[in-house]
Structure 1
Amino acid sequence: MNRANAIELSSQPNSFVEEIKLTAKLGWPIVLSNLTQISLPIIDGVMVGSIHSNQLAAASLVINLISIPVLLCMGLTMAISPLVSASLGKSDYKSPLEILVNGMFIGGIFSLLLALIFHFGKEAVFHLGQDLEVARIAQDYLVIIAWRLVPFALFSSLSRFAQGLGETRLVMTLNLFTIPLNIFLNYILIFGHWGMPFLALKGAGYGTFLTQFFALILFVFIIFRSEKFSRYRIDLGAAIQIKLTRIREIIKIGVPVGIQLSLESGAFAFSGLMAGWLGVHQQAAHQIGIYISSLTYVVSIGICTAGSIRVAFFFGKKDWDSVFSIGKSTAILAFIIGSIFSLILIAGYVHIPSLFSKDLEVIRFAKIVLLMTALFQLSDAIQATSAGILRGIQDVKIPTYLSLIAYWVIGIPAGYIFAFQLDWGITGLWMGLILGLSFNALLLTFRFFRKVSQSRKLVNELSILNEF
């Protein structure tokens, strides 16, 4: 590992402020990487929204349907970063590439199965109580975006591997490459330029798929050819073998993480379906809120991923004092970021909706949604961060149960009651989401600091006994 990355992962800062700076230094490239990934479907929505509100509503429907499979794929690959980082903490430089290869195998198989399910089950869009024209437009887009899951899962595996090694700027550079490429391909395929047919939303799907595929090919070439990763390719023959022990290790962390992410995303996706029951304008407005909250959420995910990687490094060393310090500083950094986003959204809620739609009814509802989005920024940032640093100490099972309670026992039922029983409409749906996020933030944060404090106490007691 080069010296810069070693410092980012393993340095012992002299002050609390330095601790925050260290995590932020590792995290900001991850933030930009996540923003570029999440921006691909947002670019689709913005570009087709100029055609008709039905196109934006259809994009909303597909994104809601595909969000859970996307996060299941992400969850499997998110196990790679802490496992790789923990290996470095143990000075084990053979395992990272083994973890990557087996992670790509699992992610590839799983994403292929999901793509086949959506391909042959595309008629489901007509049985969700949505507008028929919206469902018709969404059908073909759903199939294309489903097949995008395969290159997405493989690219995500490579990204988590590189991030676990501290190579966050490389991942950022590759992701930034996808933005102009996606806009260029969308421009040609959506609007029918340069001799291509006018494909509207379907063209956005093709553009996003091709963008992800090209990025994947480039990343594979870099990992297996670049001098930067040469120390992990010393025993390449052994590293590229499929090993059941590695698969079980990845699944043990990745499946609960995927379920945990899916529980949260599923709550937002189901609220999107409920927004469709309120009408096309409310559904489009809800999706604008999802687009914006997704952007702010991936910033929190980037910071929590950096914290998770650093926590995992010291977890591998069994240095619980450093784990506690990193967890605390990461949580405070998340609080600061959440506060900033709340203020930005409150200041800009009047103007932001017009970037996505010219429909006055959509804009009217979207203003309400963005104010609600501003309210949950703190809870969202803290719960995302707490979940990430818990992954760093490989605690994923109980947090999944806690998320189930927060979102599906509290959040979604409350949103339904507020929206339909109390007749609060779209405001009620988002009130339920805020309640679920806040409850999850409280539970996960308490669990991390309780577990780490117990481990620190145990280590100190053992140290005292050893002195005698």
Structure 2
Amino acid sequence: MHHAETTREKVRLFLNIMWPILVTQVGYHAMNLTDTIMAGRAGTADLAGVAIGGSLWMPAFVALSGVLLAVTPVVSQLTGAGRADRIAPTVTQAAYLSLALSAMVFVLGALLVDPVLTMMRLDPEVHGIAKEYLVGLSYGLIPLFLSSVVRNYFDAQGRTNVTMAIVLFALPCNVFLNYVLIFGKLGFPELGGAGTGYATAATYWIILAISLWLVFRLETPKQQRLFRVWPRPSASAVRELLKIGVPIGLSIFFEASIFSVVTLLMGSAFDTVTIASHQAAISFAGMMFMMPLSISMALTILVGYEIGAGRPNHAGRYARIGVTSAVGIIAVAALLLYFTRAYVASWFTDAPDVAAMTQQFLIFVIFFQLSDAAQASLQGALRGYKDVTVPFVTALVAYWAIGIPAGYALSWTALGPFGYWVGITAGLTCAAIGFGVRLRIVQRRIKRQRTAS
């Protein structure tokens, strides 16, 4: 990574960092999709069990992975400031934190999984598969969180191609492990859908092994002596990481969970066709969101790098490039979606009534995605400044005090189920406005500080 001077150079560097992140996100999405498809081949109960287990696991995974994202802005600013001597100690403390998080999730899972599944009053077979899936997944907690630290370390220094290569290698491994563990091939026991949990855990260990191998092989981590010297755990260093990471994790959690809540609310008020159509639209929106999410992550890296180097004007230019790119790309994609929505709906269903309603939901996806692209990219830029507390409060208010209540109220109007999408879009728009105002405040504050000094 280097300090680009012209806009053209900045765009080129931005794209070089962003596109491997996009491929990485697609790779992880493909792993989840493969788990679902292959579990479904084992049987309906297997698919349901994996779906239930995944729905319990994902909120914890999203929130705790978000906490470890603190590594990215911290290391990117240290890189920009030329403080390579402080990078390894910081990453080591993050590794300690990842182990603590792994232990916490393991203990909570052991205590809560069975009671929560019992409260859900599932079919006994589905209950058993969901529990066994989560047990299998628990064997991958340590490598999952520790490899997240290493991934964020590489990304923060602009080496996003490294994490992309790791995920692309791990993807076929995950498919192979699913195959042998779900269906009992090559002498392995036939575990059914629960096998995806063990396969995923094994894949996480593979990812960690490759990540650590690269840490000890590549020149930059060698020079920085990453994981060669192990300082004692530092409460103050971990506290600093948590100060940045907890608001990030909670912001991601509150955003990721709004559609889960909406789905639950809709499930008690609307018919199966509506729920299925809504779910199809969510799935497609999730695929579209990979682009602004990747841009957001690239912005955190580049803005942090320039702030660390004491170049706030250049950080501001990256923020403009990123936000403009995110909204512009999604605007083009939204226009294409408008004209191809019937074809997109056909990906998810052959039922005419579900396809027709899915097309209607996809109209609302267009406006939803524009707001989502703006708020995601703005929030990514703010993280590069290590400004996370006010954005967290903004996200909480926008998503849960505005989006969900507005959606619920509008669902009782002529909009019906579409009212939820209007409400959430309003919440995301409010978040984007709040993040935009906050970004201006942060940029002006840094400018005043530089003028005063």
Q: Is TM (by shorter chain) over 0.5?
A: yes
Aligned 8 A contact 1:59 1:138 in 2 = yes
Which residue identity does 1:272 align to in structure 2? T
Q: CA deviation at 1:382?
A: 1.4
Q: CA deviation digits over 1:281-340, x for unaligned, max 9? A: 655554444433333323222212211111112212332211211111111111122223
Aligned 8 A contact 2:178 2:199 in 1 = yes
Q: Which residue of 2 aligns with 1:391?
A: 383
Give SS of 1:166's match.
coil
Q: CA deviation at 1:47?
A: 3.1
Q: CA deviation digits over 1:182-203, x for unaligned, max 9? A: 2222233334444555544322
Q: 2:292 aligns with which of 289, 293, 300?
A: 300
Query: In structure 2, how many angstroms separate the alpha carbons of the residues matched to 1:108 and 1:280?
Result: 42
Q: CA deviation at 1:383?
A: 0.8
Q: CA deviation digits over 1:342-388, x for unaligned, max 9? A: 23443444344555566777656544444433331111111111111
1:136-215 alignment, distance < 5 Å = 137-145=129-137, 147-194=139-186, 196=188, 198-215=190-207
Q: CA deviation at 1:414?
A: 2.2
Query: In structure 2, how many angstroms separate the alpha carbons of the residues matched to 1:234 and 1:150?
Result: 18
Query: Within the alignment, does 1:443 sit opposite 2:421 as a pair?
Result: no
Q: Which residue of 2 aligns with 1:324?
A: 316
Q: 1:80 aligns with which of 71, 77, 81?
A: 71
Instruction: Provide closer, same or farther for how the CA distance between residues 322 and 179 of structure 1 changes in structure 2, counting only shifts above 3 A.
Output: same
Aligned 8 A contact 1:57 1:284 in 2 = no
Q: CA deviation at 1:115?
A: 3.1
Q: Which residue of 2 aligns with 1:401?
A: 393
Aligned 8 A contact 1:87 1:313 in 2 = yes
Query: In structure 1, how many angstroms separate the alpha carbons of the residues matched to 2:157 and 2:348?
Result: 38
Q: Which residue of 1 aligns with 2:23?
A: 32
Q: CA deviation digits over 1:227-273, x for unaligned, max 9? A: 34211118932x54322332122111011111111111121222233
1:62-141 alignment, distance < 5 Å = 62-122=53-113, 123-128=115-120, 137-141=129-133
Query: In structure 2, how many angstroms separate the alpha carbons of the residues matched to 1:412 and 1:56?
Result: 29
Aligned 8 A contact 1:331 1:382 in 2 = yes
Instruction: Provide closer, same or farther for how the CA distance between residues 138 and 283 of structure 1 changes in structure 2, counting only shifts above 3 A.
Output: farther
Which residue identity does 2:198 align to in structure 1? Y
In structure 1, runs of 5+ residues without a counterpart are: 464-468
Aligned 8 A contact 1:335 1:378 in 2 = yes
Query: In structure 1, how many angstroms separate the alpha carbons of the residues matched to 2:62 and 2:150?
Result: 16
Instruction: Provide closer, same or farther for how the CA distance between residues 197 and 361 of structure 1 changes in structure 2, counting only shifts above 3 A.
Output: farther
Instruction: Provide closer, same or farther for how the CA distance between residues 207 and 363 of structure 1 changes in structure 2, counting only shifts above 3 A.
Output: farther
Aligned 8 A contact 1:76 1:251 in 2 = yes
Q: Which moved more, 1:386-395 or 1:342-351?
A: 342-351
Q: Which residue of 2 aligns with 1:466?
A: none
Query: In structure 2, how many angstroms separate the alpha carbons of the residues matched to 1:365 and 1:177?
Result: 39
Query: Within the alignment, does 1:309 sit opposite 2:278 as a pair?
Result: no
Q: Which residue of 2 aligns with 1:11?
A: 4
Q: CA deviation digits over 1:50-106, x for unaligned, max 9? A: 566665555444443323211222222111111111112221111111121111211
Instruction: Provide closer, same or farther for how the CA distance between residues 384 and 61 of structure 1 changes in structure 2, counting only shifts above 3 A.
Output: farther
Which residue identity does 1:111 align to in structure 2? S
Instruction: Provide closer, same or farther for how the CA distance between residues 25 and 54 of structure 1 changes in structure 2, counting only shifts above 3 A.
Output: same
Instruction: Provide closer, same or farther for how the CA distance between residues 235 and 66 of structure 1 changes in structure 2, counting only shifts above 3 A.
Output: closer
Q: Which residue of 2 aligns with 1:245?
A: 236
Q: Which moved more, 1:261-270 or 1:156-165?
A: 261-270
Query: In structure 1, how many angstroms separate the alpha carbons of the residues matched to 2:57 and 2:351?
Result: 26
Q: Which residue of 1 aligns with 2:34?
A: 43
Give SS of 2:30's match.
helix
Instruction: Provide closer, same or farther for how the CA distance between residues 42 and 426 of structure 1 changes in structure 2, counting only shifts above 3 A.
Output: farther
Q: 1:227 aligns with which of 215, 219, 233?
A: 219
Aligned 8 A contact 1:190 1:199 in 2 = yes
Query: Within the alignment, does 1:413 sit opposite 2:413 as a pair?
Result: no
Work out the number of aligned pairs and report it.
451
Instruction: Provide closer, same or farther for how the CA distance between residues 212 and 345 of structure 1 changes in structure 2, counting only shifts above 3 A.
Output: farther
Query: In structure 1, how many angstroms separate the alpha carbons of the residues matched to 2:410 and 2:350?
Result: 28
Query: In structure 1, how many angstroms separate the alpha carbons of the residues matched to 2:363 and 2:137?
Result: 30
Aligned 8 A contact 2:49 2:127 in 1 = yes
1:267-416 alignment, distance < 5 Å = 267-277=258-268, 278=270, 283=275, 285-352=277-344, 355=347, 366-416=358-408
CA RMSD of aligned residues (A): 3.0
Aligned 8 A contact 2:136 2:195 in 1 = no
Q: CA deviation digits over 1:200-240, x for unaligned, max 9? A: 43222222222122111111121134334211118932x54
Query: In structure 1, how many angstroms separate the alpha carbons of the residues matched to 2:158 and 2:116?
Result: 42
Query: In structure 2, how many angstroms separate the alpha carbons of the residues matched to 1:428 and 1:146?
Result: 38
Query: In structure 2, how many angstroms separate the alpha carbons of the residues matched to 1:124 and 1:279?
Result: 26
In structure 2, runs of 5+ residues without a counterpart are: none
Give SS of 2:387's match.
coil
Q: CA deviation at 1:446?
A: 1.9
Which residue identity does 1:32 align to in structure 2? V
Aligned 8 A contact 2:88 2:227 in 1 = no
Instruction: Provide closer, same or farther for how the CA distance between residues 364 and 150 of structure 1 changes in structure 2, counting only shifts above 3 A.
Output: farther
Give SS of 2:342's match.
coil
Which residue identity does 2:70 align to in structure 1? A
